[in-house]
Amino acid sequence: MALDIIRWSLTAACLAWGLTLSWARFAAARCRAVMQEEIDHWQAEAIRARRTVAQLRQEAVVWSRGRQNGLEDLIALMPLLVAARERLESATESPDEDC
């Protein structure tokens, strides 16, 4: 009778240990799967962020070049604009002098 109790106790302990080990393995696998999903998500976000950064860098270069070209064009046109304004002012002043 005492041996039966010991055998059943060992059997119950082994069964409990086996079930606990199985549950722990399942929980660990589930956690690994969730972590892998998180890793995949954030890696995809990092790739999208790198693409956005590359695009913004390219746009900044284009804007800078365009700004520089516009500034050079404005500097080149300044004498013409000043001359046109002087002609316009002299044209508007001459009819007033006639009246």
b/e per residue 1-32 (b: at least 16 CB within 10 A): eeeeeeeeeeeeeeeeeeeeeeeeeeeeeeee
Mean pLDDT of the region 58-87: 89
pLDDT at 97: 55
Distance, in Å, from the CA atom of 44 to the CA atom of 46, rounded to the nearest integer, reads: 5
Q: Helix (H, G, I), strand (E, B), or coil: what is residue 90? A: helix
pLDDT exceeding 70 applies to what percent of the chain? 94
pLDDT at 92: 83
Nearest partner of 20 among 30, 9, 28, 32, judged by Cα: 28
Report CA Rg, the chain: 41
Structure tokens at 92: 């508007």
Distance, in Å, from the CA atom of 3 to the CA atom of 9, rounded to the nearest integer, reads: 10
Sign of CA dihedral 47, 52, 57, 62: positive
Global pTM? 0.52
